[in-house]
């Protein structure tokens, strides 16, 4: 199941964010898109997920233009965790997760054995099975985000896109979520694409990093090879040095400090 963007120009109303963008999402890997604010990473993800129609060029899902496929069919192959979703008041966890099965359901076939199995598996994978009957409003931010991820997992798609999944989560939950993504990628071969704003997390967990600035893709590849101090300085305007993360061996960005601490 391949996903790629061919020469796309994307923007909102009269404002163009990116032009002539090409991207091949590596199959079966975990890709992170990073870059400074307003560099167009969320816009790119929205274009890849069919939420935003390119003004020029095309997004190809399995070789065919994503816009030409029926919406439900795309939803069976491509899952998306959007930035802003609204959980209806008073909905239980299992109900919300079950909604993720919509792409697989028909009018008179709204709860099959396959649906049930998928929901059970998704809740188990995200560790929310004990919360199954609880109301989503009563959960903490970290738990709620896990429930939304469970909903996307229940969709059982070979490709999952995540738009800034770690915002509003505290550090422990951020790490937990990213490790969950890596596990899903390794165990089930799901292609993952996530927009992240933490450089070090991206380097640690992603197999493939796409660095954007001002609407263009500046560099992409294995973080261990492409993440250098010059790149970070050029893209983020941050003087830094790179060392190896003592836990994982991946690049760790240490910003340079202008404050001299008196010993």
Q: Which of 85, 140, 225, 248 binds another protein (CB under 8 A)?
A: 85
Distance between CA 120 and CA 139 in Å, rounded? 19
Q: Note whether 153 binds another protein by CB under 8 A.
A: no
Q: Which of 88, 127, 239, 249 binds another protein (CB under 8 A)?
A: 88
Distance between CA 138 and CA 116 in Å, rounded? 24
Q: Note whether 244 binds another protein by CB under 8 A.
A: no
Q: Note whether 37 binds another protein by CB under 8 A.
A: no
Residue 9 CB, shortest distance to another protein, in Å, is: 16
Q: Which of 134, 164, 207, 245 binds another protein (CB under 8 A)?
A: 134
Q: Note whether 89 binds another protein by CB under 8 A.
A: yes
Q: Which of 1, 135, 182, 229 binds another protein (CB under 8 A)?
A: 135
Q: Note whether 98 binds another protein by CB under 8 A.
A: yes
- Contact assessment for residue 231 and residue 202, using Cβ atoms and an 8 Å cutoff: no
Angle, nearest 10°, between helix axes 141-154 and 171-188? 20
Q: Note whether 120 binds another protein by CB under 8 A.
A: yes
Residue 117 token pair: 């199995």
Q: Note whether 158 binds another protein by CB under 8 A.
A: no
Choose the stretch contacting another protein; rule: CB under 8 A; options: 17-25, 59-67, 91-99, 174-182. Answer: 91-99
Q: Note whether 55 binds another protein by CB under 8 A.
A: no
Residue 252 CB, shortest distance to another protein, in Å, is: 33
Q: Which of 84, 230, 246, 259 binds another protein (CB under 8 A)?
A: 84
Q: Note whether 113 binds another protein by CB under 8 A.
A: yes
Q: How many residues bind another protein (CB under 8 A)?
A: 50
- Contact assessment for residue 243 and residue 194, using Cβ atoms and an 8 Å cutoff: no
Q: Which of 111, 140, 239, 249 binds another protein (CB under 8 A)?
A: 111
Angle at 29 between CA 186 and CA 64, to 5 degrees: 125
Residue 26 CB, shortest distance to another protein, in Å, is: 21
Q: Which residue, 29, 32, 36, 44, is CA-closest to 231?
A: 36
Q: Note whether 93 binds another protein by CB under 8 A.
A: yes
Exposed e or buried b for every residue in 106-144, given b needs 16+ CB within 10 A? Answer: eeeeeeeeebeebbeebbebbebeebeeeebeebeebbb
Binding site for another protein (CB under 8 A): 13, 49-51, 70-76, 79-95, 98-100, 102-103, 107-113, 115-116, 119-120, 132-135, 152, 155
């Amino acid at each position: 199941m391949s996903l790629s963007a061919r020469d796309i120009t994307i923007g909102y109303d009269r404002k163009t964010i990116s032009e002539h963008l090409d991207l091949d999402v590596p199959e079966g890997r975990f890709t992170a898109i990073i870059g400074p604010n307003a560099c167009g990473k969320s816009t790119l993800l929205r274009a890849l997920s069919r939420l935003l129609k390119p003004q020029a060029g095309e997004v190809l899902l399995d070789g065919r233009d994503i816009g030409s496929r029926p919406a439900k069919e795309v939803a069976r192959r491509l899952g998306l965790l959007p930035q802003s979703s609204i959980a209806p008041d008073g909905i239980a966890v299992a109900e919300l997760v079950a909604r993720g099965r919509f792409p697989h359901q028909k009018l008179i076939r709204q709860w099959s054995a396959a649906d049930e199995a998928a929901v059970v598996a998704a809740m188990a994978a995200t560790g929310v099975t004990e919360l199954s009957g609880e109301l989503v409003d009563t959960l903490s931010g970290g738990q709620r985000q896990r429930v939304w991820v469970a909903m996307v997992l229940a969709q059982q798609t070979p490709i999952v896109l995540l738009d800034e999944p770690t915002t509003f989560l505290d550090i422990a939950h951020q790490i937990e979520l990213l490790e969950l993504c890596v596990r899903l990628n390794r165990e089930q071969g799901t292609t993952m694409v996530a927009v992240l704003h933490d450089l070090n997390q991206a380097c640690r967990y992603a197999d493939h990093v796409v660095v954007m600035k001002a609407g263009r893709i500046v560099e992409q590849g294995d973080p261990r090879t492409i993440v250098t101090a010059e790149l970070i300085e050029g893209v983020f305007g941050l003087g830094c040095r790179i060392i190896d993360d003592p836990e994982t061996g991946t690049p760790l960005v240490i910003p340079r400090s202008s404050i001299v601490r008196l010993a």
